[in-house]
Amino acid sequence: MITAKKSKSIIPAVVITIVGFAVLFLLLGFLLGNAADTSSEEALKTVRDSIIRASVTCYAIEGTYPESLQYLIDNYNLAVDLNRYNVYYSRISDNLMPNIIVKPRGEQNE
């Protein structure tokens, strides 16, 4: 018995493969972008939490919240990369937690 082979074009398979890879690359780019945003937000939160911990430690030891961020850097070994972050530290009074805002460098205070 003789069977005839049908010739199929490979063009649809190639097009589907190319489109599939393009979709995968776009999805990968989107996911990496989201991961970078999440990482940046976590870094800001970590810096802010470090400043809060140092402020609370100062309050526990000295009985007052520090006057400035520089006081925490000088006396409580706080390390903040001020070239990378803008830190807005505003003390309200001796016994109230200061307002602390941390933003990436270059972003304006809203």
Q: Residue 47 has what pLDDT? A: 93
Q: Residue 40 has what pLDDT? A: 82
Q: Residue 52 has what pLDDT? A: 95
Residue 4 placed within a domain: no
The residue segments making up the domain with residue 67 are 23-104
Residue 7 placed within a domain: no
Q: Residue 61 has what pLDDT? A: 94
Count up the domains in the chain and report the number.
1
Which residues of the chain, if any, have pLDDT below 70?
Answer: 1-8, 34-38, 107-110
Q: Residue 48 has what pLDDT? A: 94
Q: Model confidence over 41-60: pLDDT tens digits?
A: 888 999 999 999 999 999 99
Residue 15 placed within a domain: no
Residue 97 placed within a domain: yes
Residue 56 placed within a domain: yes
Q: Which two tokens stand for residue 46?
A: 């970590």
Give the DSSP per-residue string, the chain: ---PPPP--SHHHHHHHHHHHHHHHHHHHHHHHHHHHHHHHHHHHHHHHHHHHHHHHHHHHHSS--S-HHHHHHHS-----TTTEEEEEE--BTTBPPEEEEEETTPPP-
Residue 8 placed within a domain: no
